[in-house]
């Protein structure tokens, strides 16, 4: 079975920013979190997937379809949600639902009604008076009720409170539980992604820093604290990124698959203690290392 999204060697150059070269793989049936700070290139990559702009190099395949040659077929099978989407012109929730429904033969009326209840929306609600969070839920409803094979969300939790985030992610988990649908979430909300995404890609300054299963990536790294008493200076090396030093006390990110722990022990590090990392710890350390290169 082909991957949901395969990006290979993607490059897009602007006067002040370059995306790529970027290789990215979203497995079928996954909730994939594309994380990074604002301006990292996440939205640019999503725009290119949907044919908004032309890439300078590389290929993009979605559900084994070429993003340009098969653009119409791709857009039938993929749905997009963004805080920038605006449905106010339709006046009321029911009217925009009926309008969008007409474009999709596979529209699921029962599922739409279920989502209306879950998101506490009504046909008679005026879109202009909905909260920002409710408008985001409406966008998600319009995408999910089509039963798309792949759902791409650009910063979907912006402006949502904790309860609304739980509702949104709860519906996303239901959407992929059959293993036939895929969700790609672009976000800088690292805590949300760590809780809900089973795969993750980290991007900064247009470069992919790391990609893989979320649990495997988090388990691979540790925060190491240690002391040196013999005047040894520890510097970055393969599998070790120094984060902080105060006199003879050190803090570093350690890749447990690299042999860096044994290296520390033979190069003057004492009282080494290892603690689990969060996705945010990991991203900050890797981004810091990228800036230093």
Go through the domains of the chain in sequence order and give each one's CATH number.
5-205 (3.40.50.300), 219-292 (3.30.70)
Q: Which long-range contacts (CB under 8 A, 24 or more apart) does 211-220 make?
A: 211/24, 211/25, 214/33, 214/279, 217/279, 217/282, 218/194, 218/276, 218/277, 218/278, 218/279, 218/282, 220/255, 220/256, 220/257
- DSSP label at 232? P
Quick check: helix, strand or coil at residue 145?
A: coil
Q: What pLDDT, on a 0 to 100 scale, did the predictor assign at position 179?
A: 67
Q: What pLDDT, on a 0 to 100 scale, did the predictor assign at position 111?
A: 92
If you count them, how many residues does the chain have?
A: 293
Q: What pLDDT, on a 0 to 100 scale, did the predictor assign at position 94?
A: 94
Reported pTM:
0.86
Contact call for residues 183 and 200 (beta carbons, < 8 A): no
Q: What pLDDT, on a 0 to 100 scale, did the predictor assign at position 170?
A: 82
**Can you tell me the distance from the alpha carbon of 152 to that of 79, in angstroms, rounded to the nearest whole number?**
6
Q: What pLDDT, on a 0 to 100 scale, did the predictor assign at position 21?
A: 95
Residue 154 CA to its chain's centroid (Å): 8
pLDDT less than 70: residues of the chain? 1, 179, 289-293
Q: What pLDDT, on a 0 to 100 scale, did the predictor assign at position 289?
A: 65
* Token pair listed for 266: 């033979």
Q: What pLDDT, on a 0 to 100 scale, did the predictor assign at position 266?
A: 87
Beta-ladder partners of 237: 240
**Can you tell me the distance from the alpha carbon of 148 to that of 76, in angstroms, rounded to the nearest whole number?**
8
């Amino acid at each position: 079975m082909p991957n949901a999204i395969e990006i290979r060697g993607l490059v897009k150059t602007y006067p002040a920013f370059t995306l790529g070269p970027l290789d990215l793989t979203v497995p079928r049936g996954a909730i994939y979190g594309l994380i990074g700070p604002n301006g990292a290139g996440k939205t640019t990559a999503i725009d290119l997937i949907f044919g908004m702009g032309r890439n300078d190099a590389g290929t993009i395949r979605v559900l084994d379809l070429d993003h340009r040659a098969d653009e119409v077929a791709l857009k039938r099978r993929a749905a997009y949600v963004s805080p920038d989407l605006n449905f106010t012109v339709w006046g009321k929730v029911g009217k925009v639902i009926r309008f969008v429904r007409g474009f999709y033969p596979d529209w699921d009326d029962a599922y739409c009604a279920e989502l209306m209840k879950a998101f506490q929306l009504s046909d008679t609600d005026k879109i202009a008076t909905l909260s920002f969070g409710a408008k985001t839920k409406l966008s998600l409803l319009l995408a999910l009720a089509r039963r798309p094979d792949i759902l791409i969300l650009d910063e979907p939790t912006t402006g949502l409170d904790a309860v609304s985030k739980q509702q949104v992610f709860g519906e996303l988990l239901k959407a992929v539980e059959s293993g036939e649908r895929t969700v790609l979430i672009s976000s800088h909300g690292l805590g949300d992604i760590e809780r809900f995404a089973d795969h993750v890609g980290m991007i900064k300054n247009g470069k992919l820093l790391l990609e893989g299963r979320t649990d495997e990536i988090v388990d691979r790294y540790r925060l190491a604290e240690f002391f040196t008493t013999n005047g040894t200076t520890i510097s970055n090396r393969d599998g070790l990124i120094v984060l902080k030093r105060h006199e003879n006390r050190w803090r570093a990110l350690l890749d447990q698959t690299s042999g860096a722990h044994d290296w520390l022990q033979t190069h003057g590090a004492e009282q080494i203690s290892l603690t689990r990392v969060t996705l945010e710890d990991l991203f900050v350390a890797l981004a810091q290392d990228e800036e230093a290169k």
